[in-house]
Chain A
Amino acid sequence: MWLDEYQAKNGYAAARKAFADMAEDDIVQTVKDAGLKGRGGAGFPTGVKWGLMPKDESINIRYLLCNADEMEPNTWKDRMLMEQLPHLLIEGMLISARALKTYRGYIFLRGEYTTAAKHLNRAVAEAKAAGLLGKNILGSGFDFELFVHTGAGRYICGEETALINSLEGRRANPRSKPPFPAAVGVWGKPTCVNNVETLCNVPAIIADGVDWYKSLARAGSEDMGTKLMGFSGKVKNPGLWELPFGVTARELFEDYAGGMRDGYTLKAWQPGGAGTGFLLPEHLDAQMYAGGIGKVGTRMGTGLAMAVDNTVNMVSLLRNMEQFFARESCGFCTPCRDGLPWSVKLLMALENGEGREGDIETLLGLVNFLGPGKTFCAHAPGAVEPLGSAIKYFRPEFEAGIAPTRAGELTQVVTPTMVGA
């Protein structure tokens, strides 16, 4: 959708409202009151993140980054938004930039999204020509330049401090926090990093208000608004839908995705991307919001679920996933760099029926050693969450990979005899 059509459908109305009637702090407070949470997977409250930006007016160089380095397996919501509604993202960034007083913004787009890059660049050029980006936007005296930066390809660039390093042209190793990017970000300046979908929520909140936004979610949900949710795998109708928080996973799976294809049954499912744990069909009644999925023991993640059918061996699937995580580890901290390839080695042995006694315990040990709080960033905890849950629910499949001890390899135990007795 290009500028004319977008404006005809009330596009940039929220930006006009924010520029004409709202002070910077009002915008931040509105987003905070609306309860908008980050849509990148971690679910950190956006208003709180914005509130962390320094109040000191003398720091006049600030950056707004849009995290569009979407590489999480089974996540394609941001691609859809950027390809089909590039102006929605630009409007969201424009309002956010005003609220955070950032003079420059970057959309950090992954290199493989060539269509999204084309559409975003065209939309940015259109907005610039219409005076919606650049100097003195909408006569407010506020300047904001927006650039599309295409990355060079690495999963870890989606981690916000790694993204900052990558934008600066360095290796994308995550940085130690604190200091948080709000204090020391790109080129040492205050920086705010938000996901594409998060920023795309901002215009609607500004245009229609907090009460309206809060009324969207289903009863029982603690999260506000709507979320792009999807289902993939061997379901009848794989796809992506904007749904209110709090719908049950069963509704998503049966009504929207149409259930499993003929001849397949649901064995397990993952609520939101590779870094979330596996759940069983009996968990489908969980409500899709952070706390609802939390109740059944994992995280909502990106909200794009994957169905595992009865033909898939969990050990092989996990081997594929851990190969991915091991390859994409930045190699900076030891548990992740050494632990993930080790888990791949063990899983390959189990897959080929060459596992040894104790391998499953070693894997569970790795799940513990690579868990939350033990590594620099969330890469390793995300990598072992599916592994831990797969062993929990499907342990017999892992046990089946342990080779029976062959008699010939047994060491004969000889009882020692006392000399000189």
Chain B
Amino acid sequence: MKIVQKERGWVPDGALYAIGEILGIPASDVEGVATFYSQIFRQPVGRHIIRVCDSMVCYIGGHESVVDAIQTKLGIGLGQTTPDGRFTLLPVCCLGNCDKAPALMIDDDTFGDVQPAGVTQLLEGYP
């Protein structure tokens, strides 16, 4: 599934049947695994994935205002993709940057000490 996703960006229905056939297991089992994990996408996602840490230390650090700033800026909620297909916004478990809370990840880059005012500039780095 990770291979399919690397090529296509997400795992469409057809791929589930194909994977099941190769592995010799029912497509329903493949779907069970696909929906279990947060990094396997069952619907199309944007070019860039924003993962905002929503764990308690980031909560104390004020992550909700960061999420609000991103939502206002992009006009989408958690779990949604911008209409131009540029960003998908997702929550994520503790990113292990608690000393620099609040933290978020864009694609493979992790940022700490994120402030609502700095969100616009941060997003501009990802066209």
B105 within 8 A of A: yes
- Expressed in whole angstroms, the Cα–Cα distance for A398 and B57 within the complex equals 21
Q: Is B94 within 8 A of A75, CB to CB?
A: yes
- Expressed in whole angstroms, the Cα–Cα distance for A153 and B59 within the complex equals 20
- How many A-B pairs fall under 8 Å by CB? 103
- Expressed in whole angstroms, the Cα–Cα distance for A233 and B60 within the complex equals 7
Contacts A112-B92, A152-B39 known; A324 to B54 CB distance under 8 Å?
A: yes
Distance between A152 CB and nearest chain B CB, rounded to angstroms? 4
Give the contacts of A128-176 with B (CB-CB under 8 A).
Answer: 151-155, 169-172
Interface size on B, residues (CB 8 A): 31
B117 within 8 A of A: no
A71 within 8 A of B: yes
Contact of A74 among B37, B40, B57 (CB under 8 A): B57
Q: Is A324 within 8 A of B56, CB to CB?
A: yes
Q: Is A73 within 8 A of B55, CB to CB?
A: yes
B93 within 8 A of A: yes
Give the contacts of A328-381 with B (CB-CB under 8 A).
Answer: 328, 330
Contacts A112-B95, A112-B105, A238-B99 known; A324 to B55 CB distance under 8 Å?
A: yes
- Expressed in whole angstroms, the Cα–Cα distance for A155 and B38 within the complex equals 10
What 1/0 mask marks residues of chain A from 307 to 328 whose CB sits below 8 Å from any chain B CB? Answer: 0110010001100110110011
Contact of B96 among A111, A113, A170, A234 (CB under 8 A): A113
- Expressed in whole angstroms, the Cα–Cα distance for A76 and B57 within the complex equals 12
Given contacts A112-B110, A114-B110, A171-B32, 14 further A-B pairs with CB under 8 A are A72-B94, A73-B56, A152-B40, A153-B37, A153-B39, A154-B37, A169-B33, A274-B55, A312-B60, A320-B56, A323-B54, A324-B56, A327-B91, A330-B36
* Interface, chain A (partner B; CB < 8 A): 70-76, 78-79, 111-115, 151-155, 169-172, 230, 232-234, 238-240, 274, 304, 306, 308-309, 312, 316-317, 320-321, 323-324, 327-328, 330
* Interface, chain B (partner A; CB < 8 A): 1-2, 32-33, 36-40, 51, 54-57, 59-61, 91-101, 105, 108, 110
